[in-house]
Amino acid sequence: MKSKCDTVILLWSANTEQYLLPEIGTIKDLQRMISKNEKLPASVLYCVAAIEEQVLYLNGSPQNTFHPAIVEYATQKKSFIAGSDFKSGQTRFKTIMSDYLIGSGIRLSSIVSYNHLGNNDGKNLSEDKCFQSKKISKGGVLDDAIKSNSILYPKTDGKQLSNVICRGDKIDHDVIIRYIPFVGDSKRAIDEYSSLIFMNGVNTIMSYNICEDSLLAVPIMIDMIVLGELFTRMKVNKESLGPVFSYLSFFFKAPITNHHEYVVNSFTR
């Protein structure tokens, strides 16, 4: 295929894998495991193949495919990667709401998200080991908004605050996903946003969203392919943008970047 095309891009959108990976300390450990046919997630094997063929690899699923050894290998081979887990529907709305509340000077303190769906993704996520990957990726979308306001979310360095309702730079955040075959691809998503307001009052906003999950993801896939291909050809001061396309991080729930101290995951950023 590569010999017959100008450009090949590998976009991974398979069902969520289990989050736990074997210990991969270095590139040599990774190569040894592959050569001895030791157990590795399929996404890791495809990613390694893409890196060796210098094919852009976009990870649209939430598992932790991009182990540090994978990123290091991409650097060594001058290949490009981006991810992880496409940010669509409920999570994108959650990003907007957290930006809005925190940007208004309101301390968002709790978010509880519930959704049920009946497609293969919903069935796969009914397995707890796979669900943990999704839960972790969904949880990361709030980090950028929290970092944007150190007054509302002060770092406590482990110290106990006098106000037990205010938990420093933490937001209570939980995600529940249920598999209901009847609804098919039409996902039902319910969110509850509770904020601490004046004199320890509490304000709660709830949302109910019905969305065609796959149809929300497809335009993002197209954006990733178009922008990703563009970035493979771009250089700044004669340096490529790789190995991680950090500028695509907004489109992912759990983005990785070349600079871990700066991740763009909120609308205001």
pLDDT at residue number 12: 93
253 given a catalytic annotation? yes
Q: What CATH code is assigned to 89-213?
A: 3.30.360.10
Catalytic residue among 85, 121, 144, 191: 85
* Number of neighbours of residue 99 by Cβ within 10 angstroms: 18
CATH assignment, 2-85+216-251:
3.40.50.720
Please tell me the pTM assigned to this model: 0.80
Residues 176-227: tens digit of each pLDDT:
888 999 998 888 999 999 999 988 899 999 999 998 878 888 998 999 999 9
- What rounded mean pLDDT belongs to the chain? 83
Active-site residue among 138, 144, 187, 191?
187
Q: Are 17 and 42 in contact (CB under 8 A)?
A: yes
Which pLDDT score, from 0 to 100, does residue 269 have? 66
pLDDT tens digit sequence for 97-111: 988 898 889 999 999
User: Catalytic: 134?
Assistant: yes
- The confidence score (pLDDT) of residue 253 equals 83
What is the C-alpha to C-alpha distance for residues 48 and 194, in angstroms, rounded to an integer?
Answer: 43
Which of these, 251, 228, 211, lies nearest to 85 by C-alpha position?
Answer: 251
Q: What is the pLDDT of residue 223?
A: 92
Find the helix packing angle between 68-77 and 27-35, rounded to 10°: 90
* Residue 13 to residues 63, 108, 113, Cα–Cα distance (Å): 11, 32, 23
Start-end ranges of CATH 3.40.50.720 in the chain?
A: 2-85+216-251
pLDDT attached to residue 112: 94
Candidate list 87, 94, 121, 134, residue with the active-site label: 134
Known catalytic membership, residue 169: no
Comma-separated ranges of CATH 3.30.360.10 domains in the chain? 89-213
- Residue 85 a catalytic site member: yes
